[in-house]
Structure 1
Amino acid sequence: MSVLASFLLASALAVAPPPPTLPAPALPPPAQETLLEIPPELRHLLQQRVVRRSQSEPERLQRLVHLMFDSDGLALQYGASDTHSVAESFATRRINCLSFTLMFVALARQVGLTARAQEVGQALAWYEHDGLGYSYGHVNVQVRMDGRVVTVDLDSSVLVDRRGPRTIPDTRLFAHYYNNRATELMAVGDNAQARAYFVQALRVDPKLVDAWNNLGLLEAREGALNAAAADYTQALMLDPQYASAMSNAFNLYRRMGDDARASQMLVRLQQVRVRDPFHQYTLGMEAERNGDYASAIRDYNSAIGLYPDAHQFHFALARVAFLSGNSALADRELRLARSLGPPGDQQRYQAKLESLQRLRQANRQ
């Protein structure tokens, strides 16, 4: 009897399904005080390559830039999803605008420069993944030296807000770090870890609108629709003009079958978008991709009317004007783009302008 019982028990155990694999618990995000820590080897490099070889603040700034990017220095490489602490950036040699800002602020202070992070209120920088739109802000560095202010930016091509950048405390920069990491984790499906980072971002700075908006995306992805709605509501309480949260809330209300709130949010969104040069520019890009140059010219003109100093807008209008055969408009807009753009872009626009002039002369012959 005991043998049979043992056999039956063994048989039952043999055919029983394995226990479900539980997701690994989320690890706590790194502490704030670790994000700006400089590894000893990097401190030594700073002492050897920057401090000992430079006397003035401008020279230290220049040597610091060379150390970070030259092939005989750190040779840092850009990666959109490479949000790292200073130590991680040093180990991987990869950065994005957030990692760059963390690293440059830390290293500049280490060599005696007065450096603070700057936040751009709105930037034309976003992407989609799995049908979700992730909103990205932009940060760079302000350095004060010799009675003047210098902005150091990893990406001069980013189209920034009309209001310009504003300096922020380190805690705000840390909140951006946690929010960035959370969106990267959400993009690869690690929702539990992403939530831990969103929670940390909002613990550090409860007024970080991007974090509320992106947390709403996470809640919606997981089916917690009421929680997502509350997150979007909080984002819009902090910034009533925040178009990304309006767009996400509109889609959420439609998903919930709440047509009344969806209609109200759509009206609010349209009122904001008609005054938003970034949205008008995006409409122009879409029309241009579709070969609808007349609509693209109209939309780019609308963007310029709202933000006349954006050299990217003028260059886009010049491009579609040329494609549509309006060489006079293309010539004028290229000149404006060249006059408004930074030195690197001025050279590029000058080359485009000269190519356009050569083509016009060839057509006249």
Structure 2
Amino acid sequence: MTRPTIFHAALLSLCLCGSLLAQTEPSAANASAEPVTEIAPAGQPLPLAVPAAPPLSVDEVLAVPEELRQLVNKKVVQLARHPTARLEKLVEFMFSPTGLGLTYDDTTRTVAQTFADRKGNCLSFTLLFLEMARSTGLTADMQESEKVLLSFSDTDTLVYTGHVSASIKINGRRQEIQFDPNNPILRGSVDIITKARSVAHYYNNRGAELMVAGHLDEADAHFAQAIELDPRMVQAHSNRGVLHMRLKDPYAAEYHFKAALAIDPKRISVLSNLVSLYRSQGRSQEEALTAERLADVEEGDPYHHFVHGLQLESRGEFEPALEHYRAAAKLDRKQPLYQLGMARAYEGLGREDMARHHAERAQALSRRKSSTSFAIQMMRGGRQ
């Protein structure tokens, strides 16, 4: 029986194509000296060969080359008059060999760079798609969910992170367009975000890429640009804190982590980073208080319990896994995956009656929550 590997990426923003620098879920118990970097796309390696460069302007990030405008007009607008048909043509144009033939890699690019290189990560694809969609007259926005459990399509890996996708509004109804090559199996609330925040994700991603490549001044300039566009972008504030930890400037790091927590007091990744910072400085009282605060937040987070349940189950520790699944189900009684986790744990404990009960409960909930039916089938697939 194959069980998934679980990683935690402190919130991203877009699709998941970036990376993570901490490969365990941050917690009060295991907050490590390695801080968690927050980007949009996580779980895959950040590109290392990133040349140092100052931030581009917003207009440069979103500029649509004239050649691309003409191609979109010829291959999309002239061939499809109805908005729904136009949307289908546009997606086909992006990936078909007779269109752009885009391929995936890990680097965050501008709209023009993605067009020129014919490749990019899911944030790059989403930005490109949104600008092309708007040029055809479609109402297009970026949408964001800050809590996503992602299944990588080519491995047994799960990543707990944030997520972004495109949203198209046609006749008053919205349709989601995903450019993530992986499968979101759990997702929290989804919100339409401003164009400024959409571009802020670009600067935050580029900052993370530059930081990993060692270009710290340029990285800081990108994080600053992200914050200027959206002062409430928690992940950019947090990443500046991580950057200053690398610069051995703990007081600046603390300032940026606290700025992030002023916006979102319950952000697990930021609290974990702050615990690590206090620990590295020997500030034991502040470490203990922040760790206690982190533990309280984790206790009320069903995703946290679910991810820990999966980790414990993967090691054959079914009793503690069951406790975490049970806690998740108590916090969210409508999520079938938590019931399925309980079923698997009970089966591991030899409690077939209880396993059957919770499997039936998961099945009943999945009928009401069709968006997770694939997730249930995916997780059952490892039990052959």
TM over 0.5: yes
For 2:190, the equivalent position in structure 1 comes to 165
Task: Give the C-alpha shift of residue 46 in structure 1.
Answer: 1.2
Change (3 A) 1:224 1:110: same
Q: Using the alignment, how far apart are the partners of 1:350 and 1:279 within structure 2?
A: 20
1:134-163 residue CA offsets vs partner (Å, 9 max, x unmatched)? 99532112211112121222237225653x
Identity %: 33
Task: Give the C-alpha shift of residue 86 in structure 1.
Answer: 1.2
For 1:17, the equivalent position in structure 2 comes to none
2:80 aligned with 1:85:
no
Q: Does structure 1 retain, via aligned residues, the 8 Å contact 2:143–2:193?
A: yes
Q: Does structure 2 retain, via aligned residues, the 8 Å contact 1:283–1:296?
A: yes
2:220 aligned with 1:220:
no
For 1:4, the equivalent position in structure 2 comes to none
* Counterpart among 203, 210, 234 of residue 228 in structure 2: 203
For 2:377, the equivalent position in structure 1 comes to 349
Query: Following superposition of structure 1 onto structure 2, how do residues 16-95 of structure 1 map, counting pairs within 5 Å?
Result: 27-79=53-105, 81-95=106-120
SS of 1:83's equivalent in the other structure is coil
Task: Give the C-alpha shift of residue 77 in structure 1.
Answer: 3.0
Structure 2 unmatched runs, 5+: 1-50, 152-158
For 2:25, the equivalent position in structure 1 comes to none
1:234-290 residue CA offsets vs partner (Å, 9 max, x unmatched)? 111111111111110011101111111111101111111011112112211210221
Change (3 A) 1:345 1:73: farther
Q: Does structure 2 retain, via aligned residues, the 8 Å contact 1:212–1:235?
A: yes
Higher share of residues assigned helix: 1
- Whichever residue aligns with residue 269 of structure 1, its letter is L
For 1:109, the equivalent position in structure 2 comes to 134
For 1:272, the equivalent position in structure 2 comes to 297
Task: Give the C-alpha shift of residue 309 in structure 1.
Answer: 4.4
The range that moved more, 112-121 or 324-333, is 324-333
The range that moved more, 256-265 or 333-342, is 333-342
For 1:9, the equivalent position in structure 2 comes to none
1:338-361 residue CA offsets vs partner (Å, 9 max, x unmatched)? 533439827x829958x98xx8xx
SS of 2:274's equivalent in the other structure is helix
Task: Give the C-alpha shift of residue 188 in structure 1.
Answer: 3.0
Runs of 4+ in 1 over 6 A off after TM superposition: none
Query: Following superposition of structure 1 onto structure 2, how do residues 123-142 of structure 1 map, counting pairs within 5 Å?
Result: 123-124=148-149, 137-142=162-167
Q: Using the alignment, how far apart are the partners of 1:74 and 1:307 within structure 2?
A: 43
RMSD across aligned positions (CA): 3.2
1:278-323 residue CA offsets vs partner (Å, 9 max, x unmatched)? 2112211210221112222332232233234445545555555555
* Counterpart among 129, 150, 170 of residue 175 in structure 2: 150
Q: Report the count of equivalent residues.
A: 324
- Whichever residue aligns with residue 286 of structure 1, its letter is Q
Q: Does structure 1 retain, via aligned residues, the 8 Å contact 2:186–2:372?
A: no
1:18-67 residue CA offsets vs partner (Å, 9 max, x unmatched)? xxxxxxx9531111012222223322221122111112111111111111
Change (3 A) 1:188 1:27: closer
SS of 2:168's equivalent in the other structure is strand
SS of 1:58's equivalent in the other structure is helix
SS of 2:72's equivalent in the other structure is helix
Q: Using the alignment, how far apart are the partners of 1:207 and 1:299 within structure 2?
A: 32
With structure 2 as the length reference, what TM-score do the two structures score? 0.75
- Whichever residue aligns with residue 104 of structure 1, its letter is F
Q: Using the alignment, how far apart are the partners of 1:196 and 1:257 within structure 2?
A: 30
For 2:6, the equivalent position in structure 1 comes to none
Task: Give the C-alpha shift of residue 172 in structure 1.
Answer: 0.9
With structure 1 as the length reference, what TM-score do the two structures score? 0.78
Give 1 or 2 for the bigger CA radius of gyration: 1
Task: Give the C-alpha shift of residue 192 in structure 1.
Answer: 2.6
For 1:192, the equivalent position in structure 2 comes to 217
Q: Does structure 2 retain, via aligned residues, the 8 Å contact 1:120–1:165?
A: yes
SS of 1:117's equivalent in the other structure is strand
Higher relative contact order structure (alpha carbons within 8 Å, sequence separation ≥ 6): 2
Structure 1 unmatched runs, 5+: 1-24, 127-133, 360-365
Q: Using the alignment, how far apart are the partners of 1:216 and 1:95 within structure 2?
A: 27
Q: Using the alignment, how far apart are the partners of 2:219 and 2:286 within structure 1?
A: 28
Q: Using the alignment, how far apart are the partners of 1:315 and 1:187 within structure 2?
A: 38
The range that moved more, 205-214 or 321-330, is 321-330
